């Protein structure tokens, strides 16, 4: 597991400052080698770690914590048995470092445990560990731990098909990595982001990022990383139906792993080649490859094993050998269920239903198709256009508000320290002169701190493109309006609207024109609302209007006026052939206690407006 050892780079960085109580140049040198991954292979890394352990003092707590965190990532984890032992090791270390919480060592061990659990098929437990670690990272006000936790959770959710939350995690991680100058991890995260865009149905965007990363890795002679991104490029090309080009790159990956003498990764690349061949209707050629690798790929490699069985089932279905196809789909479903891959599990169910139908077993086909349909509808709900419904329904506005407070906490503590320092500098007349100088410096620093604090608060609450309230601020204000409405017994209504066919605008005229359309939609909306109303951008092209004190009928009238004004606006000033409309859903507070169910109603109304021909207003009870 290459990524496991790359993870050491990050965890080494988070300890470097805190290990200064002991003078141990050799230990620090070894630590830096691991920090920058300056070892050629796992054996050299283990040797360095062993030497590090032998030369640090037993009471050097900080370096002992360094060792514990690094050792967690060096635990063998190639087989199911080793993975379970790795999980047990991480859990034991968590018990030993259970105080204080939160702490850096506890948070890092929590991430380590979650990492092993996801590969051991313990998806729910892994997600729980990632969420706890992210929460503690925010409490520690540690941007690196926040970024790393978001990166790991985002990668896992992306694989499972929860693209909306995955994209949010990965985009936040990307911003943090870039802001704190962690270029290596920014590239790693960008690779995950590109993969998520590909799975999300946007292989063009994914390919753009991936080719850029491949060039950077090749320039830096990072062979493993270049090979990994080469494989991801192959998957994106396959999504674009460029199967020959995809297979050429996958063959390069086969050659690479053959040089590394890793037969499982060789088999994995060959399985992907076979998948492309099946799409090219080269069934016999694909089947020969799959039958050759079948003895190599054992069930412990559940992801690879799952795709191998899925492709074998597809091949035998094409050859009308239905009994074999059924058998392989059953195994594939178990594999994908074990690692939480809903997308591929659904694909396997669909194939199984088709196979039963081809065999004339329509009762069993209907039973399997019903299960497939249930799962497919659930997955569709999660991944429909911009996937905002599910994200809103689960979004904890109080948590987001507390996250904003935590991001400002550090500057407040610094201001308090400055006030304490000022009170202690008044002992002698000579020192008074120094105090005066210090006060000037402190005043300038405090002024800059206030300016930065104001800037950070504005950035935290404002959408950068449109200048409207962002999703976090909009949801926070909506929660306050709900509380006020409950207390005063006054109405509160919401308009949820988004731009119709906005993807076509981006595809036809480009993202610059798309951004101008969003800015104009924001301006037109604000111009129609009262000063007491709140207009927020809560998604790509989705907006939310909060109308405190407005009844349902009035809200519908306002929404209709908004839809009509936008439809009648002369869009030719932005682009000659452009005509933009919006669809809107209106909902009014009844007995809802929180924001989430109200948002779900608004989403249903918006969904109905979309399916009623767009450029209209619908309501929800």
259 assigned to active site: no
| Residue 143 · residue 180 · CB < 8 Å | yes
Distance CA 239, CA 249 (A): 14
Beta bridge mates, 587: 494
Residue 608, Cβ neighbours under 10 Å: how many? Answer: 16
Beta bridge mates, 583: 498
| Residue 615 · residue 511 · CB < 8 Å | no
Helix (H, G, I), strand (E, B) or coil at 495: strand
Give 470's contacts (C-beta < 8 A, 6+ positions apart). 461, 462, 463, 536, 537, 538
Distance CA 113, CA 18 (A): 23
The 582-588 sheet, strands edge to edge: 534-537, 542-548, 492-499, 582-588, 617-619
Residue 363 backbone phi and psi in degrees, to 5: -65, -45
Q: Which has the closest alpha carbon to 310: 358, 280, 343, 351?
A: 351
Catalytic residue among 541, 542, 557, 608: 541
Say if residue 567 is exposed, middle or buried (CB neighbours under 10 Å; 0-12, 13-18, 19+): middle
| Residue 596 · residue 394 · CB < 8 Å | yes
Identify the H or E element spanning 100.
none
Sign of CA dihedral 603, 604, 605, 607: positive
Listing DSSP states for 327-383 in one string gives HHHHHHHHHHHHTT-HHHHHHHHHHHHHHHHHTT-HHHHHHHHHHHHHHHHHHHHHH
Distance CA 351, CA 425 (A): 78
Distance CA 15, CA 9 (A): 11
Give 419's contacts (C-beta < 8 A, 6+ positions apart). none
Distance CA 30, CA 262 (A): 28
Tokens of 323: 């009994």
Distance CA 468, CA 474 (A): 9
Give 205's contacts (C-beta < 8 A, 6+ positions apart). 194, 197
Distance CA 536, CA 411 (A): 27
| Residue 528 · residue 558 · CB < 8 Å | yes
Distance CA 610, CA 621 (A): 17
Residue 329, Cβ neighbours under 10 Å: how many? Answer: 28
Distance CA 200, CA 162 (A): 9
Distance CA 568, CA 104 (A): 56
Q: Which has the closest alpha carbon to 148: 120, 168, 177?
A: 177
Residues belonging to the active site: 541
């Amino acid at each position: 597991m290459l990524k496991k050892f790359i993870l050491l780079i990050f965890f080494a960085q988070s300890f470097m400052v805190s290990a200064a109580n002991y003078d141990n140049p050799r230990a620090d040198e070894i630590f830096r080698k691991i920090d920058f991954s300056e070892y050629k292979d796992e054996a050299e890394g283990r040797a360095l770690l062993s030497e590090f352990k032998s030369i640090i003092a037993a009471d050097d707590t900080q370096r002992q914590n360094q060792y514990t965190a690094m050792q967690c990532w060096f635990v063998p984890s190639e087989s199911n048995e080793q993975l379970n032992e790795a999980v047990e090791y991480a859990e034991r270390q968590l018990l030993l470092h259970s105080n204080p919480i939160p702490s850096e060592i506890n948070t890092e061990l929590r991430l380590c445990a979650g990492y092993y659990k996801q590969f051991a098929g313990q998806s729910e437990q892994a997600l729980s560990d990632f969420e706890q670690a992210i929460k503690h990272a925010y409490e520690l006000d540690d941007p690196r731990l926040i970024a790393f936790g978001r990166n790991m959770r985002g990668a896992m959710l992306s694989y499972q098909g929860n693209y909306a939350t995955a994209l949010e995690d990965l985009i936040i991680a990307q911003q943090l990595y870039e802001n704190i100058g962690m270029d290596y991890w920014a590239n790693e995260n960008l690779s995950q982001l590109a993969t998520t865009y590909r799975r999300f149905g946007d292989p063009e965007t994914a390919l753009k990022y991936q080719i850029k990363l491949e060039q950077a890795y090749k320039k830096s002679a990072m062979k493993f990383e270049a090979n990994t991104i080469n494989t991801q490029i192959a998957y994106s090309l396959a999504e674009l139906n460029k199967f020959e080009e995809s297979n050429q790159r996958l063959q390069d990956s086969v050659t690479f792993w053959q040089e590394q003498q890793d037969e499982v990764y060789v088999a994995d690349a060959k399985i992907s080649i076979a998948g492309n061949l099946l799409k090219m209707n080269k069934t016999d050629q694909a089947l020969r490859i799959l039958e050759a690798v079948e003895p190599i790929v054992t069930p412990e490699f559940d992801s690879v094993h799952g795709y191998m069985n899925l492709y074998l089932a597809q091949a035998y279905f094409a050859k009308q050998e239905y009994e074999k196809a059924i058998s392989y789909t059953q195994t594939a479903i178990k594999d994908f269920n074990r690692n939480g891959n809903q997308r591929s599990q659904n694909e396997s169910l669909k194939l199984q239903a088709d196979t039963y139908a081809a065999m004339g077993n329509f009762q069993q086909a209907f039973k399997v198709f019903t299960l497939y349909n249930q799962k497919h509808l659930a997955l569709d709900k999660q991944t429909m256009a911009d996937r905002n419904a599910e994200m809103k329904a689960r979004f904890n506005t109080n948590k987001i508000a507390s996250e904003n407070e935590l991001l400002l906490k550090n500057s407040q503590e610094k201001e308090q320290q400055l006030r304490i320092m000022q009170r202690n500098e008044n002992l002698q007349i000579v020192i008074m002169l120094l105090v005066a100088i210090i006060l000037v410096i402190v005043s300038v620093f405090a002024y800059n701190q206030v300016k930065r604090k104001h800037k950070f608060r504005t950035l935290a609450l404002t959408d950068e493109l449109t200048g409207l309230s962002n999703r976090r601020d909009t949801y926070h204000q909506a929660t306050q309006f709900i509380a006020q409405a409950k207390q005063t017994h006054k109405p509160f209504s919401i308009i949820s609207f988004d731009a119709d066919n906005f993807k076509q605008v981006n595809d036809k005229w480009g993202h610059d024109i798309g951004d101008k359309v969003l800015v104009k939609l924001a301006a037109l909306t604000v111009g129609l609302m009262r000063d007491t109303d709140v207009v927020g951008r809560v998604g790509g092209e989705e907006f939310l209007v909060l109308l405190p004190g407005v009844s349902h009928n009035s809200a519908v009238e306002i929404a209709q006026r908004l839809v009509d004004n936008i439809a009648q606006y002369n869009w030719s000033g932005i682009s000659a052939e452009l005509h933009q409309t919006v669809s809107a859903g209106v909902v009014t507070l009844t007995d809802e206690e929180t924001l989430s169910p109200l948002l779900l109603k608004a989403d249903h109304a918006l969904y109905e407006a979309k399916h009623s021909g767009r450029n209209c207003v619908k309501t929800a009870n």
